[in-house]
């Protein structure tokens, strides 16, 4: 089985620590190591280094190489430009298919937090068992929702499947990516839905066939890329073909459209390190604690996340439930319940003349 770490995102919700040149995957956000290094180390508990691939952007290739010295150089797959996760996964699968088209694979987000690593690997292997039992289908690991979240994909589970080694496996009746808040609240209230933490398990050949079925333009360009791999002029072909792939996520492009999905229900203390509010929730030891990285003095200040990387003292009075992140050249201040809006803030900065250097 091959593990594909997806490390090509921009991580804009964790600005100003996460920047275009050094996105969140290759900076320290949780603990002293980078999210990418933590993900790689976690996978090494169940995979050999030769069976782990990392998909990233060309501009972040060197940062990934430095962060993962144990990764075989041939397993670092750099996309010439960002074209979302359907293109990234297809590109990685094209590399695997050259030598092992009948191999199984799992996709892994580089920015996830996992508390129970043994349970995590059991879940991956259970999903693999489901795929080995039904090789013409794709399995998704599913997490029980804990609140109405609009940033994840939801699977409506149906009939229980009795498959050897697959644990608690189900038919997926439908997959819905990033529902609005009203819909997410309804799913949470009704029950019978699982979150998809982008743990997708399948057979390489079969999953590439889903591109023919649901994303024919992706499929055509990925085939042209696959035919060029290892040949003279491959770099030019890859750059030309990849840049013309429409940007679409694997969730919208394939998972929402595919009717043959299976879900394997699991619990391993998963969290998506997608914004500063999540960072505080992961690191807080008690509900009212301030989470502080750096130097802070506070009076009547509770439940804040305070990150200061420049050595400056951050002082607060009467401040609660806030995110305060200070770097050498930028300061972010926002309520925790607006942490998802940091992405919009970054887009606003991007549109301001003279401010791109802060991205």
Per-residue pLDDT reduced to its tens digit, 256-271: 999 999 999 999 999 9
- Beta-bridged to residue 329, according to DSSP, are none
pLDDT of residue 323: 97
Read off the pLDDT of each residue in 202-220 and give the average, rounded to a whole number.
Answer: 98
pLDDT of residue 96: 98
pLDDT of residue 72: 97
Residue 303 pLDDT exceeds 80: yes
At 309, the pLDDT band (50, 70, 90 cuts) reads confident
At 26, the pLDDT band (50, 70, 90 cuts) reads confident
- Beta-bridged to residue 322, according to DSSP, are 335
**Average pLDDT in the chain:** 95
Backbone dihedral region of 149: left (phi > 0), alpha (psi from -120 to 50 degrees) or beta? beta
pLDDT of residue 101: 95
Residue 9 pLDDT exceeds 90: no
Per-residue pLDDT reduced to its tens digit, 66-123: 999 999 999 999 999 999 999 999 999 999 999 999 999 999 999 999 999 999 999 9
What whole-number distance in Å separates Cα of residue 24 and Cα of residue 357? 17
154, with CB counted inside 10 A (0-12, 13-18, 19+), is: buried
- In percent, the amount of the chain with pLDDT more than 90 equals 89
Residue 20 pLDDT exceeds 80: yes
pLDDT of residue 44: 98
Read off the pLDDT of each residue in 35-51 and give the average, rounded to a whole number.
Answer: 97
pLDDT of residue 28: 86
At 155, the pLDDT band (50, 70, 90 cuts) reads very high
At 139, the pLDDT band (50, 70, 90 cuts) reads very high
Name the CATH superfamily, with its identifier, for domain 2-272: Spore Coat Polysaccharide Biosynthesis Protein SpsA; Chain A (3.90.550.10)
Residue 29 pLDDT exceeds 90: no
Range in 147-151, 184-188, 189-193, 257-261 with the lowest mean pLDDT? 147-151
Read off the pLDDT of each residue in 135-144 and give the average, rounded to a whole number.
Answer: 97
pLDDT of residue 151: 86
Per-residue pLDDT reduced to its tens digit, 337-354: 999 899 999 999 999 989
Return all residues near 153 (Cβ < 8 A) that are at least 6 apart.
175, 176, 177, 178, 195, 196, 198, 251, 255
Read off the pLDDT of each residue in 305-318 and give the average, rounded to a whole number.
Answer: 94
Residue 128 pLDDT exceeds 80: yes
pLDDT of residue 25: 87
Please say whether the beta carbons of 30 and 273 come within 8 A: yes
Could you count the other beta carbons within 10 Å of the beta carbon of residue 311?
Answer: 9
Please say whether the beta carbons of 281 and 287 come within 8 A: no
Per-residue pLDDT reduced to its tens digit, 264-298: 999 999 998 989 999 999 999 898 899 999 999 99
Cα 291 → chain centroid: 24
Ranges for all domains in the chain classified under CATH 3.90.550.10: 2-272
pLDDT of residue 31: 77
pTM of this prediction exceeds 0.75: yes
At 223, the pLDDT band (50, 70, 90 cuts) reads very high
pLDDT of residue 8: 87
pLDDT of residue 298: 95
pLDDT of residue 68: 96
- In percent, the amount of the chain with pLDDT more than 70 equals 100
- The DSSP code sequence of 252-280 is IIIITT-S-EEEEEE-S-EEE--SHHHHH
């Amino acid at each position: 089985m091959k593990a594909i770490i997806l490390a090509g995102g921009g991580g804009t919700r964790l600005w100003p620590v996460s920047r275009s040149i050094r996105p969140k995957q290759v900076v320290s956000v949780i603990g002293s190591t980078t999210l990418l290094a933590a993900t790689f180390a976690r996978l090494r508990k169940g995979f050999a280094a030769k069976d782990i691939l990392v998909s990233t952007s060309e501009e972040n290739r060197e940062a990934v190489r430095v962060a993962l010295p144990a990764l075989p150089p041939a397993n670092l797959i750099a996309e010439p430009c960002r074209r979302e996760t359907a293109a990234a996964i297809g590109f990685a699968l094209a590399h695997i298919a050259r030598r092992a088209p009948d191999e199984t694979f799992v996709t892994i987000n580089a920015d996830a937090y996992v508390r129970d690593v043994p349970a995590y690997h059991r879940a991956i292997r259970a999903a693999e068992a489901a795929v080995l039992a039904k090789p013409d289908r794709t399995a998704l690991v599913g997490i029980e929702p804990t609140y109405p979240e609009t940033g994840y994909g939801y699977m409506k589970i149906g009939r229980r499947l009795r498959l050897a080694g697959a644990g608690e496996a189900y038919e997926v009746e439908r997959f819905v990516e990033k529902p609005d808040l009203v819909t997410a609240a309804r799913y949470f209230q009704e029950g019978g839905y699982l979150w998809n933490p982008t743990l997708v398990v399948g057979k390489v050949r079969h999953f590439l066939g889903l591109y023919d079925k649901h994303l024919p333009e992706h499929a055509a360009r990925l085939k042209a890329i696959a035919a060029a791999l290892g040949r003279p002029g491959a770099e030019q072909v890859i750059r030309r073909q990849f840049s013309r792939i429409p940007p679409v996520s694997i969730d919208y492009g394939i998972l929402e459209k595919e009717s043959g999905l299976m879900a394997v229900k699991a619990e391993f203390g998963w969290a998506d390190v997608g914004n500063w509010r999540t960072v505080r929730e992961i690191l807080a030891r008690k509900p009212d604690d301030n989470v502080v990285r750096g130097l802070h003095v506070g009076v009547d200040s509770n439940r804040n996340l305070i990150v200061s990387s420049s050595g400056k003292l951050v002082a607060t009075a009467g401040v609660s439930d806030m995110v305060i992140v200070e770097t050498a050249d930028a300061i972010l201040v926002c309520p925790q319940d607006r942490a998802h809006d940091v992405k919009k803030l970054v887009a606003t900065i991007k549109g301001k003349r003279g401010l791109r250097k802060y991205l």
